[in-house]
Amino acid sequence: MKLYTVGVRELHIRYIDVQAESEDEARDLAQDAACANIGTADLQYIEDLNKSTWDVLEVENDTA
């Protein structure tokens, strides 16, 4: 039997609070905050992506 690590790709929505004059400015500010990984954020899980997009890595067994 082999050991594998599977990277399951998921879809999330992250809500970021920004103060802006318009919806377009709010999107720009949220994009900047998301790229810098700052701001108030609430991450909400939506679904797993198709398993054909997942990464599968065989883990080497060092118990010899």
Q: Residue 35: what pLDDT?
A: 77
* 59 contacts: CB under 8 Å, gap ≥ 6: 2, 3, 4, 5
Query: Does residue 11 form part of some domain?
Result: yes
Query: Does residue 8 form part of some domain?
Result: yes
Q: How many domains is the chain partitioned into structurally? A: 1
Q: Residue 9: what pLDDT?
A: 96
Domain interval for residue 32: 3-59
Q: Residue 40: what pLDDT?
A: 54
Q: Residue 16: what pLDDT?
A: 86
Using a cut of 0.85, tell me whether the model's pTM lies above it: no
Query: Does residue 21 form part of some domain?
Result: yes
Residue with tokens 């709010």: 26
The per-residue pLDDT for range 16-64, each reduced to its tens digit, is 888 999 999 999 998 988 777 665 567 889 999 999 999 999 999 766 5
Query: Does residue 64 form part of some domain?
Result: no
Q: For residues 26 and 20, what is the distance between their CA atoms, to the nearest angstrom?
A: 5
Q: For residues 1 and 18, what is the distance between their CA atoms, to the nearest angstrom?
A: 50
Query: Does residue 14 form part of some domain?
Result: yes
**CA nearest to 6, candidates 52, 64, 62, 61:** 52
